[in-house]
Structure 1
Amino acid sequence: MGEPRGTGVLERDVAEDTVRVDTRQRRGGGRDRRRAVTLLLLTLVLPGSAQVAAGNRALGRVALRAFGGAVALALVLGLVGLASRTALLTLLTHRVSLVLLQVLLVGLAVLWVVLLVDAWRLGRPDRLPSRDRRRLLVLLLVLLLVPGLVGWLGSTVGTARAAMTSVFGTGEAAGAVDGRYNVLLLGGDSGAGRIGMRPDSIQLASVDADTGRAVLFGFSRETENIHFRPGSVMAGLMPEGWTCGDECLLNALYTWGHDHADRFPAGTKDPGLLATREAVESLTGLDIQYYVMVDLKGFSSVVDAVGGLDITVQRRTPMGGGSREIFDWIEPGAQHLDGYHALWYARSRTKSTNYERMARQRCVVTALVKQLDPQTVLLHFGDLAAATKGVFRTDIPQDALAGLADVAVKTKQEKITSVNFVPPLIKPWDYDPAVVRSTVSAAIAASEKGPAAPKPTAASTAKAAPTAKSTPKPEASTPAVMERPGTDPDANTGDLASVCSAG
């Protein structure tokens, strides 16, 4: 006997009902999945909108106002920057502004995290299949990176504020003198075996306050026979000048000042610095507004903080020498130097003269300046701020940062003229001070005329100043005496550019 006819119809009806139920479940699951993803993406693009649509509307409205206000503030700052870069920098370097910015960024980051997690909850992950729940959780974790980045920016602002407070002081900003900012740049070395701190690198940066065109004047640390300006503190202490021969070198003034601090006027914060500053003022005829001192011992940490330096080395440079054996070499060619090797490259003395060493130090500093673009500073700011603690000293007040930063932006776009008072331009042990001052004036005048103007060179200046003294230095000397050109067959003192170049 065959099956009852109604049995087959019933089975087909049950199968069709099952298919329809499965279809509805799949469609419902797809809608739930899309809804959950949409809520998360809405919170990413417009924080608070998911709560207004499907959750706590009061929280959503607060969040929308908060993030809307942040966007409006960013737009206002952008407009201020377009109208006046100095005004924007003034706002962003003020202590109160930095505190408020840090609190704002950290607060927004925390609120954003709360909103994203709440949007994930509103998506009802418990109603989704296990595979979709896992995918939704992964999406949440990925999106949480965005508020994490905002919080990280807030922490870097706090690090910046702490670093600025520790490095830069308080007080009124000094104005430009004759339209120029003159900043004394000292590279000190407090390494092991050194008695006290003596500036190994002495340079003066003179920058046009309007155009940013700069001239960098370099002085040998062994410069002698310095007479101070009438009326200066050092002129009162040394009426005959710093003229005791090999013991009276330019860089030794720093130690002398600290050893005789009781002879300086009451309230002098750094007698050694004052002595060095007034010596360079006398040599150049320029008034110095600020100084910056970098301790070369800690310089390696700054180089490591920015990921190393790209330098084209022209001459093989030893690591070691002096009281220890040469244990390695920095070879010629394009090199990427970490902090350890960059410090050795800047400080190495063996098989070179102090003139070449000056060039290497200037090359390392130039490479660092070139590499400190906004992207590098942003990516490495935390490490950079930590590395600079104890490495930099300056009397630049925080209130002066905005104006100087604006000038620095212009300077970065210009080619810096460099003049070094070393042979063949002058002999640091025997020179005519008038030649130094006239060279300074000529270099500044050429710089102010723009890039097309002829720039003074060692040769041209020397020819234009036949009155410069040229008496040879006596052969007998103490160890502190200048290494004379030609003493070392491996040294190159005539062409400093042949030593290295910043990559």
Structure 2
Amino acid sequence: MPPSSTPGLPPGSPVTRFTTLDRAQRVRFRRAVALMVMTVLVPGSAQLVAGNRRVGRIAMRVWIGLLVLTLVSMGVSWFFHGFAFWAVSNTALLGLLRLLLMALAVGWALLFLDAWRLGQPMGLHQRQRLAVVGVNGLLCFSVAGTLLFGAHMVGVQRQFMITMFGDGEVVGASDGRFNVLLLGGDSGAGRWGLRPDSLTVASIDARTGKTVLVGLPRNMANFPFAEGSVMAKKFPNGFNCPDCYLNGVSTWAQDHPELFKGSKTPGVDATEMAVEGITGLEINYWSMVNLAGFRSLVDAVGGVTLTVRDPIPVGLPHDDFYRFIEPGTRKLNGMDTLWFARARDGSDDYSRMARQKCVMNAMLQQISPQDALSNFSEIAAASSEMISTNVPQSEVDTFLDLAVKAKSQKIGTVSLVPPKVVTADPDIDVVHSMVAAAIDRAEGEKPTSVLATQAPAEPEGDGSPTPDPTPTSEPVPPPSVTGGSIGSLKEGYAANQADDLGSAC
């Protein structure tokens, strides 16, 4: 009888016959791959099955313990966001986590090498041996590399917390609100040498996160300082010296450091005293923003979408990069966002204040957790160069929690500008009433009425801080005014006085 052919092959085709050795090598190859896969899924399981069981038990217990701890932490963070914010802002915990990730990377890599040894690679065919080496190397470097990258990111976060935040005094909320003074200028982080270009108080409800932005014009004059402060004693009748404006308080204080003994930031301290006297709010903390570095932060998050209502000049006419941002809703990069907020050519101070608030609102609403995670290193680097603050590390989790709450709510805004406030000679009682009314509206209370004051005077076209001349009943806006929000100089910009900043921009 002729030999039968192998099913699926033409008659007469040669039949490949495997020897017992071939079958054994295939079994060993599958076993070697299985041991490496087991090490990926459950570190130590390969050793428990085919190696040193004591090492396997230790590795599995560590793995299961860390897995349970991670799942519990994620569950707690899901229901209590404050725990997650505490974890990412605690430098001691971050340091411990960084060391743990590095140790895990080394330990897991050693388990992979041991799993490769247990697979007896020298008993395999050359191709199988090369395949095992390749698979083991790929898995080992993938797992260990991921853990080391995680350790790097944790280290970046820890360094960011150490660099930006200090161990300053913790200050409780004032009347249920945190009042944070935001100062913007061209001085770098950690240096206070120039006049602030932007002054805003973020008044945040300590329970709900509801926020009101209080904008102060840099050219305000003849204002009082907080009662009992060093500056109030020096200027009992207000800051009424020649050419003395709100943005000049800091430089005046730095020229007289003897009045602020022991202070590292006399300019900020004096500015706080002025803002407290003007608004009637007690300032809890301050944050100084280097507006030039702000450009890097916007680029790090991939840009900001803003509604441009009039052509916004980028640069000044003599700059070689001078151009315009055309009207429309568009996503702006760091440079264009910076000039959107700071444009002076053909603009006025009050329009700039409105545009700056629109940028603040856009940044709060548009930066998602996904953006923050995917660009974390760039954001941390930009923020460290951009911001100085006296908010202590222990309070960072509180403000992160409030920021998340504020993200889902409308932001209120009130600016101490014409037509209700004459910046050359402000009525402080009216100013206090305006601020109190805005906060009452934010908290859902019926505000007391605020009487309008005289109409504004026309500021200079280049945005330089000059006091308002004698008020007139019919102010005339300049020929060209760049407005980032609804409104005009004559009517007032909606972003300067709004219960919902988003709708005004």
TM-score, structure 2 length as denominator? 0.83
Of residues 234, 238, 260, the one that matches 2:235 is 238
Aligned partner of residue 254 in structure 1, secondary structure: helix
State the distance in 1 between where 2:356 and 2:458 align: 26
Most deviating of 385-394 and 123-132: 123-132
1:35 aligns with 2:35: no
CA drift of 1:289 comes to 0.5
CA drift of 1:321 comes to 1.4
State the distance in 1 between where 2:362 and 2:117 align: 51
* Counterpart AA for 1:277: E
Most deviating of 425-434 and 136-145: 136-145
**Paired residue for 1:222?**
219
**Paired residue for 1:49?**
45
**Paired residue for 1:284?**
279
State the distance in 2 between where 1:81 and 1:123 align: 41
State the distance in 1 between where 2:370 and 2:270 align: 39
* Counterpart AA for 2:63: F
**Paired residue for 2:451?**
465
Aligned partner of residue 196 in structure 2, secondary structure: strand
1:152-231 superposed matches below 5 A? 152-190=149-187, 196-231=193-228
**Paired residue for 1:369?**
364
CA contact under 8 A between 1:215 and 1:418: conserved in structure 2? yes
Of residues 414, 439, 442, the one that matches 2:437 is 442
**Paired residue for 1:253?**
249
**Paired residue for 2:6?**
none
Q: How many residues are paired up?
A: 476
CA drift of 1:279 comes to 1.2
- For residues 31-64 of structure 1, the C-alpha deviation after alignment (integer angstroms, 9 at most, x for no partner) is 3343233222211111111122123333323322
State the distance in 2 between where 1:77 and 1:364 align: 35
Distance 1:121 1:427, change over 3 A: farther
Most deviating of 114-123 and 167-176: 114-123
Distance 1:334 1:141, change over 3 A: farther
Aligned partner of residue 393 in structure 1, secondary structure: strand
* Counterpart AA for 1:152: F
Aligned partner of residue 315 in structure 2, secondary structure: strand
Distance 1:199 1:387, change over 3 A: same
TM-score, structure 1 length as denominator? 0.84
State the distance in 1 between where 2:482 and 2:394 align: 44
State the distance in 1 between where 2:309 and 2:459 align: 32
1:22 aligns with 2:18: yes
* Counterpart AA for 1:302: L
CA drift of 1:65 comes to 2.4
CA contact under 8 A between 2:213 and 2:413: conserved in structure 1? yes
Of residues 451, 467, 477, the one that matches 1:486 is 477
Q: Which consecutive unaligned segments of at least 5 residues does structure 1 have?
A: 10-17
CA drift of 1:238 comes to 0.9
Distance 1:417 1:497, change over 3 A: closer
Distance 1:233 1:322, change over 3 A: farther
Q: Which consecutive unaligned segments of at least 5 residues does structure 2 have?
A: 4-13, 469-474, 484-488
CA drift of 1:180 comes to 0.9
CA drift of 1:397 comes to 0.8
CA drift of 1:152 comes to 1.3
State the distance in 1 between where 2:476 and 2:246 align: 19
- For residues 176-195 of structure 1, the C-alpha deviation after alignment (integer angstroms, 9 at most, x for no partner) is 1111111111111239xxx9
Most deviating of 223-232 and 74-83: 74-83
**Paired residue for 1:295?**
290
State the distance in 2 between where 1:74 and 1:248 align: 57
1:151 aligns with 2:137: no
CA contact under 8 A between 1:291 and 1:394: conserved in structure 2? yes
**Paired residue for 2:325?**
330
**Paired residue for 2:493?**
495
CA drift of 1:474 comes to 10
**Paired residue for 1:12?**
none
CA drift of 1:290 comes to 0.2
Distance 1:349 1:86, change over 3 A: same
Aligned-pair RMSD on alpha carbons? Answer: 3.5
CA contact under 8 A between 1:319 and 1:328: conserved in structure 2? yes
State the distance in 2 between where 1:446 and 1:241 align: 30
Distance 1:196 1:91, change over 3 A: closer
Aligned partner of residue 478 in structure 2, secondary structure: coil
State the distance in 1 between where 2:159 and 2:459 align: 52
Aligned partner of residue 336 in structure 1, secondary structure: strand
Aligned partner of residue 22 in structure 1, secondary structure: coil
**Paired residue for 1:15?**
none
CA contact under 8 A between 1:203 and 1:218: conserved in structure 2? yes
**Paired residue for 2:352?**
357
Distance 1:349 1:23, change over 3 A: farther
**Paired residue for 1:62?**
58
State the distance in 2 between where 1:322 and 1:21 align: 85
